[in-house]
Amino acid sequence: MSGSRRRRAPPAEPEYRPGQLLDWTDSSHWDHTGARPCRYCDKPTQLRDSKRSPAHKVCAEAALAQQAADAADAYQNGTTT
């Protein structure tokens, strides 16, 4: 056996598709008391995030994707805090 090993290629980055990041099928994400403005887009919603703040699922996914992109950029640029 030789001492050299073949390196594997890094895994391909998964493609983000709206609707697959968060699972809000649990009824705790629905507020029966009424619609309140989404924390991201200010349009009314009866959905609540894990901290019970009003948020559309699509808006929350977009915010998470943006946070991940910002964190990746900061890491690449060496500007993490």
Average confidence (pLDDT) per 10 residues, the chain, 81 residues: 67 60 84 95 94 92 88 80 58
Strand 44-45 with 36-37, pairing: antiparallel
Is 19 contained in some domain?
no
Is 44 contained in some domain?
yes
What distances in angstroms separate CA 32 from CA 5, 28, 50, one per listed residue?
Answer: 59, 10, 16
Tally of domains within the chain: 1
Is 21 contained in some domain?
no
Is 63 contained in some domain?
yes
Helices of type H across 1-81: 57-77
Could you tell me the residue range of the domain that residue 46 belongs to?
27-77
* pLDDT at 68 (0 to 100): 86
* pLDDT at 18 (0 to 100): 56
**DSSP conformational letter for 39:** T
